[in-house]
Amino acid sequence: MKLPAHIALPGRRRPAPGPDRTPVYAMVGNPNCGKTTLFNALTGLRQKVGNYPGVTVEKKIGVTYSQHGRPIQVIDLPGAYSLAARSPDEAVLRDVLLGRRADTPQPDRIICVVDAANLERNLYLVHQILDLGRPVIIALNMMDMAAAAGMKVDAAELEGALGVPVIACEAVHGRGLVELKLALSRLELPLARHRWDVPVPIAPAVAEIQASLADNDARTPLIARAEALLLLTDFDTVRVAGSKPLSPRTHELLDQWRQRWVQEGTDWSAVLIRSRYDAINLLCKDVIRRPREAGPSRSDRIDAVLCHSLWGWAFFAVIMGALFYSIFSLAESPMNFIDEHVAAFGAWVKGAMAPGDLRDLLTDGVISGVGGIVIFLPQILILFFFVGLLESTGYMARAAFIMDRPMSKVGLNGRSFIPLLGAYACAIPAIMATRTIENARDRLVTILVAPLMSCSARLPVYLLMIATLLPGDVVPATTKAGIMLAMYALGTGGVFFFAWLFQRTLFPAAPQHMIMELPPYQPPRLGEILRHMIERGWMFLKNAGTIILGISIVLWFLTTYPKHPDPHATPTAQIAQSFAGQAGHLLEPVIKPLGFDWRIGIGLITSFAAREVFVSSMGVIFGVEGADDDTTPLRDALRGAHWPDGAALFTPLVCLTLMVFYVFAMQCMSTVAVVKRETNSWRWPLFQLAYMTGTAWLVCLILYQAGRALGY
Amino acid sequence: MPASPIPLSPLCQLPAGSTGRVCELTGDDSFCQRVREMGFGEAALVTKISGSSTSLCLVNGTRIALNHRAAMSILVEQLPASAR
C-alpha cells in the first residue's frame, strides 16, 4: 500500500515479525475504555505483573494465542488521553511506543481500544498513534453501551475510512474476542490511511524540528515527526524527550518558534488539538448515528441519587461504613485462623527440631516474623475487594468526586480518602491502594501520612496501657473508650496536619485543577475483582515478605545474641544481655526525658517488627508468661515496675505518653518495606521513619515534661 | 450597531440543568491542553448536571467532574433552552 508523503518506515530494534517470530502488540486506550477487561479476556491467567523500573507504574505483559496456536505477546500499557504525557503513567505509554524504554520490547503493532460510546474523544489518542506509522488494530469496545445510549456505530465504515482492521467488541461479555484474535494472527497488517495535514500555522515549525531531530538527535523520521508534534505542545524538553538532552540546534529552533508565536499571538497548542479534532469529526461523520432525542441514561439516573448533595453523602457513608466494618469484623476469623496455625506450625517445628540457634532462628525469627505479616493478608484482600468493587462499578470516581472538597482543604485529593480509611485497619493495604491516585504528588503525600492513622496493630498497646493506667474495677468503661477514641482522633488529626504541612513545604504548588471522567455505571465483574485481589495479595507477600523476612532475622539476632553466660538463664535475663538489651540501655538517655527506661527501650526496638510485639516483649522483660492472651498479670507486673530509685515506672503520665508515642512513631518494618516498594526508593521510607518518630519523640517530650511540671 | 459582547461566566456559575458553549480557557497551558484533548475545548457544548464547588458536567456524552479551580478556569456562554 502507498504510504502518505510524510511516512517512512520506522527503524526497528527488533527483527520484523514473520513466519519465525510472532509480533509484540501494545494495547493502548483512554482510561475507562475497557482496556484491562479486554486484556484479561485475551490473556487469561497468562500474565506477568510487575513495575516499570524507576517508576511505580504497573507493567503487565500477557500472552494470547494466534489462530494457529502460536503465542502472541501483549503489553498492557497504562490508560492515557494523549501522548503529550502529564503523568508517569502517560510517560510510560509514550516511551514504550517510541521505543525509549530498554526494559520493554518496542511493540511491532498496536491494539487501540476505543470506547464506542465516546468515539471522538477516544480517537484523539488513536490519531496521535497513527502518526507513529505502525500497524494498528482498533478494538471498538463497549458497543453495548453505545447501543444503550441509542447510538449506532458502524465498525465497517470506520475500517473503510482508516484502512485498518476495526473489530467491534464487548469485552465484558467476551464478544468480538475471536475476531480480534484472528486480526492479531494476521501476518501482514496494512498501515492506516492517515490523511491529516499538520495545520498551516505550525507546519513549517514541525518540518524544521523534525529535520533537526532526525539529523542532530538521531531520531528515525517517524519518531522525529511524532516528537516534534509533542515538543510543540509541551516545551518541557526533559518531559517530552526524556533525560537525554536535545541537541543545541533543536533547542535553538524550539526557542525561535516559541518566541515568534508568542509575538504573533498564535496559540499553537490549541491549533494542533483543534486540527486533530476537526479530522476526527470528519472521520466520524458517517460512522456514528446519534439518536435525535437522548433522554437521561441509566448512569444519569443513578448519579441523580448518588451524587446528590444529601443522598450522595448518605450512600457514601453507608459504603464506607460497610468497608470499615468488613475490614475489622470479617477479617477477624481468618486472621485468628492464620495466627493459630502459624503458632501451631512454630510449636511443631520447635518440637520436631533439637534445641539450638537454628531452631530458634526458624521459630522465633522466620516463622513468627513472616507469620506476623501474613496475618494482615485477610485485611488486604478485603480492602482490595472493596477497591475493585468500587472501581469496577464506576463508584470509585464518584466517591473521589464527593470527597474532593473536604480533602482539598488539606491539599489532598478525593481519591486519598479510601486508602486513608483503610489505614485504620493496616497501613500496608492503604499504601498499596494509593495506586488509584493519579496525581504523583498527592499519592506520595497520602503514602507519607497514611501510617499515622491508628491501625489495628496499635490496639494491643493501647489496651495494655489503658489497663495499666486505669484498673478495670475502679474506672468506668466509657472513660477507657474515651481515651481510646482520643488516640484515634490524635492520629487522624496528625494525618490532616502533616498532609497540610507537606503540601505547603515539601511539595509547594498552586492549588491544582482536578478534571476527572466519571465512567458509566456497570455491574461488578467479580472475576476481575478476584484477580485484582489475588494480584495485590501476591505482590504483598512476594515483595514485602522478602524484606520483612530479612528484618525479622536481624531482629531475632539482636534479641538472641550475645548469649547469656548462664545457659539456664531466664528469657528476661537473656533479653537484657542481648544486643537489643544493650541497645535499650544505650537508648535510655534519649528516651528518659519521655519517662521511659531501658526496658521500655527494648520494647520500642523489638516492636519495630510490628507494634503489637511491644506487649509480648514486655511479657518477656517482666517475666510474665502468655502476656498476649491475658494482660492482667502483665498489667500488675507493669504497675509494680520501678526505677532504680524506687519511683514507679508506669505512672499514668508515662502510660499516656507511651500511647501517644505509638500514635505517631513509625514502629512498623512492614510499612517501611511497602513504602520502599511503592516509591521505588529508600528516600521516602527513611524520611517517613524520621519525621514520624521525631514527631513522636517531640510530642511525648512536651507531654511528659508538661505533665511533670503540672505535678503528675 | 455593534453586537453586544457575549456575557461569559465561569462553568461553576452555570446553573444546573443548563447548557453552555465553552468560549475561553484561562488556566495554565498544561490544564488548557488537557481540557482540549478531552474534547472540552473552545466551542464544545457542556451541560451542567450539578454542583457549585465541585461541578459535574456532561460533555460529548461523557460525565466529567471538575473541582472549583478547574470550573473557574472554563468560561462559558449560557445557551437559551431553545438553542440546545
Kindly report, residue by residue over A342-392, the tens digit of the pLDDT. Answer: 889 988 998 998 888 888 888 877 887 777 667 778 887 888 898 889 888
CB contact under 8 A, B49 and A300: yes
Q: What is the mean pLDDT of chain B?
A: 84
Chain centroid, CA B49 distance in Å: 12
Check CB contact of B45 with chain A, cutoff 8 Å.
no
Give the pLDDT confidence of A39-71 residue by residue, as tens digits. Answer: 999 998 777 776 666 666 778 899 999 888 889
Q: Per the structure block, which three cell numbers stand in for A604?
A: 520500642
Instruction: Give the helix/strand (H/E) hosting B59.
Output: strand B55-59
Are A210 and A76 within one domain? no
* Contact call for residues A188 and A19 (beta carbons, < 8 A): no
Half-sphere exposure of A321 (CA within 13 A, CB side): 6
Looking at the DSSP bridge assignments, the partners of residue B25 are B74
Q: Are β-strands A58-65 and A71-76 bridged in parallel, bridged antiparallel, or unpaired? A: antiparallel
In this predicted structure, what is the pLDDT of residue A6? 36
Burial class from Cβ neighbours inside 10 Å (0-12, 13-18, 19+) for residue A259 reads: exposed
Would you call A159 an interface residue with chain B, using a CB distance cutoff of 8 Å?
no
Domain boundary (A239, A271, A289) is at: A289
Is the model's pLDDT at A233 over the cut of 80?
no
* Confidence at residue A8, expressed as pLDDT on a 0 to 100 scale: 37
Asked if A421 and A406 touch (Cβ cutoff 8 Å), the reply is no
pLDDT band, residue B31 (cuts 50/70/90): confident
Q: How confident is the model at residue A10 (pLDDT cuts 50, 70, 90)?
A: very low
The candidate with the shortest Cα–Cα distance to A125, out of A167, A96, A93, A100, is A93
Sign of the C-alpha dihedral computed for residues A452, A458, A462 and A468 taken in this order = negative
Q: Residues A319, A311: contact at Cβ < 8 Å?
A: no
Domains of chain B are 9-83 (2.30.30.90)
Q: What is the pLDDT of residues A512-538, one digit of tens each?
A: 778 888 888 988 988 888 988 888 788
Is the residue at A664 inside a domain?
no
> Of A267, A289, A311, which residue is a domain's last?
A289
Q: Quickly count: other Cβ atoms within 10 Å of residue A205's Cβ.
A: 23
Structure confidence at residue A322 as a pLDDT band (50, 70, 90): confident
Residues A135 and A249 in one domain: no
Task: Examine residue A13 and state whether it is found in any structural domain, yes or no.
Answer: no
Report the CATH number that the domain containing residue A107 is assigned in CATH. Answer: 3.40.50.300
Q: What local confidence, expressed as pLDDT, does residue A629 receive?
A: 57
Task: Verify that A150 and A218 share a domain, yes or no.
Answer: no
Instruction: Pull the grid cell for residue A579.
Output: 544486643
Structural domain contains residue A239: yes
Q: A71 and A149, same structural domain?
A: yes
Q: Which of A151, A230, A515, A518 to mutate to test the interface with B (most CBs of B within 10 A)?
A: A515
Residues A209 and A180 occupy one common structural domain: no
Q: What is the chain A residue with the closest CA to B64?
A: A517
Of A269, A408, A514, nearest to B33 by CB-CB distance is: A269
Both A230 and A110 in one domain: the answer is: no
Mean pLDDT of A420-446: 83
Determine the Cα–Cα distance for residues A186 and A181; give it in Å rounded to an integer. 9
- Residues A130-155 have a mean pLDDT of 92
Residue A503 resides in a domain: no
Place of cell 521505588: A680
CA A121 distance to own-chain centroid: 27
Report yes or no on A35 lying in a domain: yes
Number of domains in chain A: 2
> What separation, in Å, do the N-terminal and C-terminal C-alpha atoms of chain A show?
89
Q: Give the pLDDT of residue A450.
A: 95
DSSP state of A648: B
In a domain, A332, yes or no: no
For residues A129 and A74, state if they share a domain.
Answer: yes
Residues 6+ apart with CB under 8 A from A697: A590, A591, A594, A661, A665
Q: What is the DSSP letter of A105?
A: P
Does B38 contact A81 at a Cβ distance shorter than 8 Å?
yes
Whether residue B3 has pLDDT greater than 60: no
Q: Does A164 lie in the same domain as A64?
A: yes
Cα of A521 to nearest chain B Cα, Å:
11
Q: Could you tell me the residue range of the domain that residue A29 belongs to?
A: 24-185
Using CB atoms, pick whichever of A117, A270, A513 lies closest to residue B73.
Answer: A513
Q: Residue A3 pLDDT > 70, yes or no?
A: no
User: What Cα–Cα distance (Å) separates residue A316 from each residue in A397, A464, B9, B50?
Assistant: 12, 34, 31, 17
- Is A598 among the domain residues? no
H helix or E strand, kind and range, residue A408: helix A395-408
By CB atoms closer than 10 A (0-12, 13-18, 19+), residue A88 is middle
Identify the residue among A398, A513, A516, A521 best suited for mutation to test binding to B, counting B beta carbons within 10 A and taking the highest: A513
Residues A36 and A176 in one domain: yes
How far apart, in whole angstroms, are the C-alpha atoms of residue A358 and residue A365?
10
CATH number at residue A214: 1.10.287
In this structure, the answer to whether residues A55 and A162 fall within a common structural domain is yes
Are the beta carbons of A451 and A540 closer than 8 angstroms? no
A142 touches B at CB < 8 Å: no
Find cell 508515642 and name the residue: A661
Same domain, A34 and A78: yes
Q: Which of A431-435, A469-473, A698-702 has the highest mean pLDDT?
A: A698-702
pLDDT of A399 above 60: yes
- Which has the higher per-residue pLDDT, A477 or A298? A298
Neighbours of A699 (CB within 10 A): 19
Query: 3-state secondary structure string, A541-593?
Result: HHHHHHHHHHHHHHHHHHHHCCCCCCCCCCHHHHHHHCHHHHHHHHHHHHHHH
Is residue A109 within 8 A of residue A25, CB to CB? The reply is yes
Point out which residues pair with A47 in neighbouring strands: A62
Q: Would you say A326 and A157 are in contact if contact means Cβ atoms under 8 Å apart?
A: no
> Which residue has cell 498501515?
A191
* A474 in any annotated domain: no
Q: Is residue A118 domain-shared with residue A266, that is, in the same domain?
A: no
What element of type H or E holds A336?
helix A332-352
> DSSP letters of A481-527?
HHHHHHHHHHHHHHHHHHHHHHHHHTS--PPPP-EEEEPPP----HH
More confidently predicted of A577 and A472: A577
Domain boundary among A249, A264, A289: A289
